[in-house]
Structure 1
Amino acid sequence: MEKKWWQKAVVYQVYPRSFQDTDGDGIGDLAGVIQRLPYIKKLGVDVIWLNPIYKSPDCDNGYDISDYRAIQPRFGTMAIFDELLTKAHELGLKIVMDLVVNHTSDQHQWFQESKKSRDNPYRDFYIWRPGDSQKKPNNWGSYFGGSTWDFDEATKEYYLHLFAKGQPDLNWENPQMREQIWKMMRFWLDKGIDGFRMDVINLISKPEGLPDAPNPEQALYGNVEPVVADGPKVNQYLREMNQQVLSHYDVLTVGEMPSVTPEDAAQYTNLDGSELSMAFEFDHVTLAMNPDPRLGKWNDAPVSLVALKKTLSKWQLALAGKGWNSLYWNNHDRARAVSRFGNDTPKYRERSAKMLALTLHLLQGTPYIYQGEELGMTNAHFTSLDQYQDIESIEAYHQLVDRAQIVDGPTMLRYLATEGRDNARTPMQWDQSSHSGFTEGQPWLPVNPNYQEINAAQEVQDPDSVFAFYQKLIQFRHEKEIIVYGDYQAVDLDDSQAFVYRRTYQGQTLIVLSNFTAQTLTRDYQLPADKELLISNYADDQGPTLRPYEAKAYLY
């Protein structure tokens, strides 16, 4: 394959609202990202992915954009963004922006025009359908609860919103709308940014005729994904985007793609470079779905290791030589990795955080680290609804507990504490000072109380910290081509306690062994005597013995 810079890169995701506040309003800002660039550089990553920083009324924390070419005032100004871009580049760090073009805010000028009349030039920038105030165009249920359709009294039609009603979906069938998107993308790329992470990009092509979803019992809380994911023209639109915009720049592009299959992802990320660099798949982070289909992702069941291994292995093999994987455990929409896949008790948190890091970073693909993951930050373990800010969590609680009465309040709070998005959004834990050094004001979301034990100031100084372990893994990816390009082979997929796999490249073999349990295991794979212990999360090596949450990699 042709070697690309982003195959060897490691990406660090910054959720600006929760990263670093510099003006005391309790909300992180771009000046805070500038302040912490040396920390990100010290970690050793290559790329920063910024969650949306555009002007927005914030009905969904910036994923409802009202002006694609303006900075959200609470984050700063365009001059501060330009300074961030310059300083990042001076440190050898690239900047990737979030691209949110499945929908806009209902405050965007396009939608404000679109609402004025049925013959407005911007009407077809969005998806409008006839109906009356009683009969909706179809049975689609929104990701955030309730119908995907909202009735507009002025023009007596419904507009489509797969997410919140303040996030109307764009009409990608309209070439004039697409041209406006291309112009906006060129605006940022001409500034010098280094790529885009594309929000729910495989939802942009809606099925012809907008047919009913096959599972009406889930309409209450999100049945729309099977109907709209990977629609008939997604590849066409992405190829056009590539031809018109992306191919003229040397950039990293990653598409967030709910429900994407490996076969579709191989097309989206094909090695001829005609669409995207890589995709975010959801298979491994949605394994523990609730058996009650009306509850979707809301549950607190543990993740099956066998299912996790089979899923990750499926993606490793399916894209080998065809496309490119993205590797991640968590992000701003997912619970903290060590709480969901590891063990976040004080006894095992550090060990299991390192184990998860090693397991993921030695796979083939581009790894993504979500802010605080490199410290082993945990879920917030909130216990009451008033501690949450996330629209998805709050709406789900009201929909499933108050309105539909499918689940009781204490159970739903357990589910939110396991899967709620605010678990990832609590402020970054910098030090032991007030509010963990995130702000001198009142933080927009409570700081996790464990910041006294888990914080950057302590870990940066500790050669045995989770942070130091991530530094080593990143360095190995930069130095050892077997990690970037090696073939993948799973070992004993039905082992429910250990995850073991091999990578092979140019006569070398790397074997990775990870114990996902608190028990001591024995796993003897008859490794050669001249093997080199590349990295381990224990200070000594006991060969075939795998202690609780032990992870290690040998090279031979």
Structure 2
Amino acid sequence: MTTYLMTFRGTYMTQELAPTLRDQSAAHSAGWWRDAVIYQVYVRSFADSDGDGIGDLRGIRRRLPYLAELGVDAVWLTPFYASPQADGGYDVADYRAVDPLFGDLSDADDLVREAHRLGLRIIVDIVPNHTSDQHAWFRAALAGGEERALYHFRPGRGTDGELPPNDWESVFGGPAWTRTEAGDWYLHLFASEQPDLDWNHPKVREEFDSILRFWLDLGVDGFRIDVAHGMVKAEGLPDIGLSEQAKLIGAQVLPFFDQDGVHEIHRSWRTLLDSYEGERIGVAEAWAPSSERLALYVRPDELHQAFNFQFLTCDWDATAMRRVIDGSLAATASVGAPTTWVLSNHDVVRHTTRYGGGEQGLRRARAAALLTLALPGSAYVYQGEELGLPEVQDLPDTVRQDPAFFRGDGQDGMRDGCRVPMPWSGTEAPYGFGPGGSWLPQPESWGRLSVAAQSGDPRSTLELYRSALALRKELPGLGDGEMEWLATPEGVLSFGRPGLVCTLNTLATEAELPVPGRPVLSSAALEFSGAAVRIPGETCVWWAV
């Protein structure tokens, strides 16, 4: 019986398989987004250039070679616009200015140019559902200006207007309305510092067309659209009649989310994006109650991609995974769009922890990475997942900044744990993040998880990702295209792509299967005996066929 740990960069892989893969390599001719691997950078936590403990654009630019070597195709940046930072920059005061925390406009320009030089595309966040309460429009609105029509101001209910206009709740908890000194109320589906815009007003639409053009002219390759499902509210702002409304998001259509009117906005944006050369794209952050409704956002005349939150929230269970994969592929195929696969982002607990934490969570996370990168479509990687970073669950209350933490009955308020700054090198914090400290404390155990510590170790999670991303470019059957499920025992998933088979054992125990081809990558060591292979529990394997 022979045991192998498969790594693309190891001698076994490169000696026996690399020439074959190079012979088969073929590039997709159009629609780069259809099979792109897009790396999410949470700007304040990626790399700090000036020692203030907060990541910035210059820090990101200096680390772009790392991302190019990792093998991703594009980089998505969270908001870096001028902002009071009430919600990590998702409260924008000026959409055309860079916040001094992160640099200036020339730094943004330099970052885009350097990324393009390295063959990377840049996608930036746009926040169209709401502005900051410090935005010039909202300040004028509070002063009684005509800008009031650009937001949702309403009289209150009750004898003296002391009650909110309806029963809507903030995603962060508490009422979705705040009363002004004048006695009326304004709508904010998130923090009170984030008043919702009224997209029925033509000036709002004209302004955002201008904002998109500003950044497209600077050279960005697309936009991730925050709350893409939220810009249009039901006529009359009707009551819901239920409490704990945050739990209903993604489970049913609500009068403030996933209204059909949002699609007209996205169609107009698609026309704008198509007017630029270079295949600029729009990506919807849209919570929809079904894969079918999510697919509406990526019809041929709307956006290019939508995040697949059904997959992100799926349990570690073979039956559930297959059901979500089938539903996702069927829905996007019905409109001719690619499916996206995402395991973590800046709003959810890191999947290493969601999958059980510790050694088990890491085993599952490594396996899940190979699964997602083998599925048809595009994949997203959240910074640090390629290092196997866990959620930081013991942050002191005094350092937390998530606005949901300070409210009740909304999101869990624990998003800071997935936003702790990246460890790059060294044995002590801030692990090469920057010349000073870090805005959130990093665990003492992160020294062994740093980029430097994992680089060159064929058994590390970083090298597993580098290998998988290199193979994804080499093997023509990966990325966009077809797949076919193969017969397997219960608890095991296996599917074929042209020239490749991907096998995932979700069980805690090993599974013995016929060898389907030549192993090219595995998330754990394999044992071979004749024509059979023993796949350890919670392991994924790629086979060349």
Inter-partner Cα distance in structure 1 for 2:476 and 2:166: 51
AA matched with 2:35: K
1:329-386 deviation per Cα after TM superposition (whole angstroms, max 9, x unaligned): 0011111121113x432x4455433212101111112111111111111111216533
AA matched with 1:265: L
Show the 5 A alignment for 1:17-28. 17-28=44-55
Percent identical: 35
The CA deviation at 1:389 is: 2.3
Task: Specify the alignment match of 1:429 in structure 2.
Answer: 423
Choose from 530, 541, 545 the match for 1:552: 541
Choose from 320, 338, 344 the match for 1:330: 344
Task: Specify the alignment match of 1:233 in structure 2.
Answer: 261
Inter-partner Cα distance in structure 2 for 1:183 and 1:74: 24
The CA deviation at 1:527 is: 5.7
Inter-partner Cα distance in structure 2 for 1:513 and 1:220: 36
Show the 5 A alignment for 1:277-292. 277-287=304-314
1:450–1:266 Cα change, 3 Å? same
- Is 1:385 aligned to 2:397, yes or no? yes
Task: Specify the alignment match of 2:519 in structure 1.
Answer: 533
Task: Specify the alignment match of 2:5 in structure 1.
Answer: none
Aligned-partner SS, 2:255: helix
Q: Structure 2 stretches of 5 or more lacking a match?
A: 1-27
Show the 5 A alignment for 1:9-158. 9-117=36-144, 120-131=145-156, 132-154=160-182, 156-158=183-185
1:493–1:170 Cα change, 3 Å? farther
Task: Specify the alignment match of 2:353 in structure 1.
Answer: 339
Judge conservation of contact 2:273–2:281 (CA < 8 Å) in 1. no
After superposing the two structures, state which structure 1 stretch, 462-471 or 35-44, moved more. Answer: 462-471
Task: Specify the alignment match of 1:501 in structure 2.
Answer: 494
Judge conservation of contact 1:18–1:28 (CA < 8 Å) in 2. yes
The CA deviation at 1:218 is: 1.9
- Is 1:218 aligned to 2:244, yes or no? yes
AA matched with 1:148: A
Aligned-partner SS, 1:314: helix
Judge conservation of contact 1:389–1:445 (CA < 8 Å) in 2. no
1:434–1:269 Cα change, 3 Å? same
Judge conservation of contact 2:311–2:341 (CA < 8 Å) in 1. no
Inter-partner Cα distance in structure 1 for 2:310 and 2:35: 23
Judge conservation of contact 1:146–1:219 (CA < 8 Å) in 2. no
- Is 1:366 aligned to 2:367, yes or no? no
Choose from 436, 442, 446 the match for 1:447: 442
- Is 1:513 aligned to 2:542, yes or no? no
AA matched with 2:420: T
The CA deviation at 1:268 is: 1.7
Inter-partner Cα distance in structure 2 for 1:535 and 1:476: 9
The CA deviation at 1:108 is: 0.4
Inter-partner Cα distance in structure 1 for 2:429 and 2:293: 48
After superposing the two structures, state which structure 1 stretch, 192-201 or 534-543, moved more. Answer: 534-543
1:221–1:481 Cα change, 3 Å? closer
Aligned-partner SS, 2:421: coil
Inter-partner Cα distance in structure 2 for 1:219 and 1:12: 31
1:115–1:2 Cα change, 3 Å? farther
Aligned-partner SS, 2:190: coil
Q: How many residues align?
A: 507
Higher RCO structure, 1 or 2 (CA under 8 Å, sep 6+)? 2
The CA deviation at 1:21 is: 1.2
1:490–1:545 Cα change, 3 Å? same
The CA deviation at 1:245 is: 4.3
Q: Structure 1 stretches of 5 or more lacking a match?
A: 288-301, 401-414
Choose from 178, 196, 212 the match for 2:205: 178
Aligned-partner SS, 1:437: coil
The CA deviation at 1:200 is: 0.9
Judge conservation of contact 2:291–2:328 (CA < 8 Å) in 1. yes
Judge conservation of contact 2:354–2:361 (CA < 8 Å) in 1. no
Judge conservation of contact 2:74–2:121 (CA < 8 Å) in 1. yes
Q: With structure 1 as the length reference, what TM-score do the two structures score?
A: 0.85
Inter-partner Cα distance in structure 2 for 1:536 and 1:424: 26
The CA deviation at 1:481 is: 3.1
Judge conservation of contact 1:197–1:253 (CA < 8 Å) in 2. yes
Task: Specify the alignment match of 2:20 in structure 1.
Answer: none
The CA deviation at 1:243 is: 2.0
Inter-partner Cα distance in structure 2 for 1:125 and 1:494: 58
Inter-partner Cα distance in structure 1 for 2:273 and 2:235: 27
The CA deviation at 1:420 is: 2.5
The CA deviation at 1:125 is: 1.2
Inter-partner Cα distance in structure 2 for 1:138 and 1:548: 51
Aligned-partner SS, 2:479: helix
1:139–1:237 Cα change, 3 Å? same
